């Protein structure tokens, strides 16, 4: 059964780039047809989809992030990553990685989430 685990710095300075990695275990990131997503949740608030990368490498992003997000995949490490540039305090959140088996499918599984705080 596929499992996901986020990793990365828990503290990022304003205006810098937030970088997170999601490690996939129990299956190959390049096999099958999966969408690998990043989703975030500010404390006490709801869920916000950031974007996804498809097995083929194509990407799609939430327009609200105004092109600050970049998602990439490293098949050799069975990982996919998120870079979010020009961060502000509003980007402070728990960041989750998740997968879905088709374009309009459910998110399952999810990683446990990792808290990223933007502060100087």
Residues that bind other proteins (CB under 8 A): 37, 46-49, 52, 60, 62-63, 96, 103-108, 110-113
Helix (H, G, I), strand (E, B) or coil at 91: helix
Q: Which is nearer to other proteins, 48 or 75 (CB)?
A: 48
Question: To the nearest whole angstrom, how small is the minimum distance from the Cβ of residue 57 to other proteins?
Answer: 17
Q: DSSP letters along 55-90, please?
A: TTS-EEE-GGGTT-EEEEEETTTTEEEEEE-S--GG
From residue 58, alpha-carbon distances to 44, 67, 82, 90, 92 in Å are 32, 15, 14, 27, 27
Question: To the nearest whole angstrom, how small is the minimum distance from the Cβ of residue 77 to other proteins?
Answer: 22
Question: To the nearest whole angstrom, how small is the minimum distance from the Cβ of residue 37 to other proteins?
Answer: 7
Q: Which is nearer to other proteins, 16 or 60 (CB)?
A: 60
């Amino acid at each position: 059964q596929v499992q996901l685990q986020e990793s990365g710095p828990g503290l990022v300075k304003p205006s810098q780039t937030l970088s997170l990695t999601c490690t996939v275990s129990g299956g190959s990131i390049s096999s099958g047809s999966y969408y690998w997503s990043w989703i975030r949740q500010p404390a006490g608030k709801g869920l916000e989809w950031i974007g996804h990368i498809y097995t083929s490498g194509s990407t799609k992003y939430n327009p609200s992030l105004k092109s600050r997000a970049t998602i990439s995949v490293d098949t050799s490490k069975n990982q996919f990553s998120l870079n979010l540039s020009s961060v502000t305090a509003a980007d402070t959140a728990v960041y989750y990685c998740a997968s879905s088996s088709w374009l309009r499918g459910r998110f399952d599984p999810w990683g446990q989430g990792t808290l990223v705080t933007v502060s100087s």
